[in-house]
Amino acid sequence: MFLILRASSRSRSRSYGKIISKLIATSSSCFYVPMVPMITKKETKSERTSDGVKRGTRLFSCFPMVPMITKKETKSERTSDGVKRGTRLFSSSYEIKDPTELDALVQESYKSAVVIDFYATWCGPCKTLTPRLIKTVKAQRNVILKTVDVDAFPSIAEALRVNSLPTVMMLWEGKFVEQFSGVINEDECERFMKRASELSNSKKDDDADGDEGSDIDIQSKLEVALQGLAEGSAATSATQRDALIAFVNSKQISPPSVRADCYAALCMIELQRTTHKNSKTKNVETLDASIENAEELVKAAEQILVDAKGKAGSVQFSAPTIAARARLKLRMRAEEHSLEFEDHDLVTSAYLQNPKNFQLNERAALSSVLIGDYETACRISLELLKAKSSDDKSKILAREIIVEVIDSINFGASVNLAERTRRRLASLLFA
């Protein structure tokens, strides 16, 4: 096998290159490697050969070469799999091309829910999530999906506080009502888009009266409401309030458990509305009236199940009904401590300074429930058993609060959190 090395520098290089290329083409044991032209002291880069060819110009075909990284394109401009940053990963019909389009989307959100996917071309997880969102949104004709390249519009991402990628936000009636970060599977994508679709459909039910309530697909609306309540999304659950009221006021025939769960959901929604309304108005009379309304709603749910059971054995209340009763008890405990929504930071700060203090611990747990942070409420309420107390009544109170917190989230997406907290409670009690 022969290896030919040749330096090409002047006008003869064109003819020599062609001749050598022909020779190599007829030989299977010969390889030709052209050398880069040298620049001598008398030659500058601006000089050309006698036949006008600029020095360094390739005069013949050679072996395939790896693309060079130029000054304008650094290594950081390509992703780990070699995709150049800025390469479009999907149809441009979903892409926001101008920041002014957001104004139009805000207006559209009063008619249909809008899902906005924040991504970057260099983001690996984005390449997985965005196609899933596109696939699932096609099944929901009343949901609008838009994508925003954070590298193209960093000001939008900064204004909306997008700190990680991918991030997906749901826009409804001019407000972001739900969001998540990271990759979710197709089933979760479908549920997310279904909740967005339910928001769009709820607009059609705003004017529904008792007769129109018979046409309501209450099962799906109840599912969306309970999902929002389990996840602590007050806006998502509140959008179903009118549809649930229309249903319970209608004469539509339905299983007692469904009607009871509707009352339970309305009770929990009323407690959420009470919390936010009171934080703004600080009207004690309004607060008392709202808590009374919540009490009547949960009683109605319980009575429906009692009547359905009749005299045949004990009544088994549904998880949402139990959760509604537990949340009402916790809300009343918070009222006894005069806790309000905006007090959370101060209450938490005081607890962190003295976590072994029973009363501070109790206030912090109730305050976390008040703002809908049930994961923190579970953790702090378990600490109540370790806090210093002067009598056995405090220990009994601690167990009651922990059980109420667990019951308040033992449905929907928060079932796993409730189960984890229950196991930790058992380990503390029987350690």
What is the model's pLDDT at position 54?
52
At 257 the pLDDT is: 86
Indicate whether 342 pLDDT > 90: no
As a whole number of angstroms, the distance between CA 324 and CA 330 comes to: 10
| Confidence band for 275, pLDDT divided at 50, 70 and 90 | low
Is the predicted pLDDT of residue 420 greater than 60, yes or no?
yes
Kindly report the CA angle at 209 between 205 and 213, in degrees rounded to 5? 65
Q: Work out the pLDDT band at 34, boundaries 50, 70, 90.
A: very low
Which of 86-95, 186-195, 289-298 is the least confident region? 86-95
Could you give the percent of the chain with pLDDT greater than 70? 68
Name the band, by pLDDT with cuts 50, 70 and 90, for residue 249: confident
Alpha carbon separation from 341 to 232, 273, 290, 335, 406 (Å, rounded): 14, 11, 15, 11, 21
Better-scored residue on pLDDT, 22 or 367: 367
Confidence band for 89, pLDDT divided at 50, 70 and 90 = very low
The CA distance from 170 to 143, in Å, is 10
Q: Which residue has the higher pLDDT, 221 or 24?
A: 221
Given a cut of 50, whether residue 202 has pLDDT beyond it is yes
pLDDT value for 3 = 45
pLDDT for position 316: 80
Give the CATH H-level superfamily of domain 92-205: Glutaredoxin (3.40.30.10)
Strand 30-35 to strand 113-119: parallel, antiparallel, or no bridges (unpaired)?
A: unpaired
> Between 55 and 416, whose confidence is greater?
416
The pLDDT assigned to 264 comes to 94
Q: Name the burial class of residue 252, with classes exposed (0-12), middle (13-18) and buried (19+) by CB atoms within 10 angstroms of its CB.
A: middle
Higher pLDDT, 53 or 422: 422
- Specify the pLDDT at position 83: 40
Q: Reply yes or no: is the peptide bond before residue 166 cis, omega within 30 of 0.
A: yes
pLDDT in tens, 278-315: 444 444 444 555 788 899 999 999 998 888 776 555 67
pLDDT of 193 over the 70 cut: yes
Cα distance between residue 263 and residue 325, in whole Å: 11
Q: How far apart are CA 430 and CA 426, in angstroms?
A: 6
In this prediction, residue 38 carries a pLDDT of 42
Q: State mean pLDDT over 423-429.
A: 89
Q: Does residue 80 have a pLDDT over 50?
A: no
Per-residue confidence band for 261, with pLDDT thresholds at 50, 70 and 90? very high
Q: Which residue has the tokens 């899933």?
A: 132
- Has residue 203 got a pLDDT over 90? no
Strand partners, 30: 2
pLDDT over 90 percentage in the chain: 30
| 157 has a pLDDT exceeding 60 | yes
- Per-residue model confidence (pLDDT) at position 47: 52
> In 3-state terms, what secondary structure has residue 385?
coil
Q: Is 155 exposed, middle or buried (0-12, 13-18, 19+ CB in 10 A)?
A: exposed
Looking at residue 165, its pLDDT comes to 92
Instruction: Please report which confidence band the pLDDT of residue 204 belongs to, taking 50, 70 and 90 as the band edges.
Output: low
State both tokens at 270. 């009323």
Residues with active-site annotation: 123, 126
Tokens standing for residue 97: 């091309």
Q: Which of 388 and 246 is assigned the larger pLDDT?
A: 246
Q: Partners of 6 in the beta sheet?
A: 34
Domain ranges of the chain: 2-35, 92-205, 256-429
CB-neighbour burial class of residue 395 (10 A; exposed 0-12, middle 13-18, buried 19+): middle
Predicted local confidence at residue 205, as pLDDT: 54
Tell me the pLDDT band of 386, cut-offs 50, 70 and 90. Answer: confident
Residues 54-69 pLDDT 10s: 554 443 333 333 333 3
Per mean pLDDT, which range of 128-142, 240-254, 322-336, 358-372 is the poorest? 240-254
pLDDT at 50: 52
Q: Which residues lie across from 54 on neighbouring strands?
A: 48
Report the range of poorest mean pLDDT among 109-118, 212-221, 262-271.
212-221
| Average pLDDT score over the chain | 75
State residue 128 phi and psi, 5-degree precision.
-85, -45
Indicate the pLDDT class of residue 393, thresholds 50, 70 and 90: confident
Residue entry with tokens 């938490």: 348
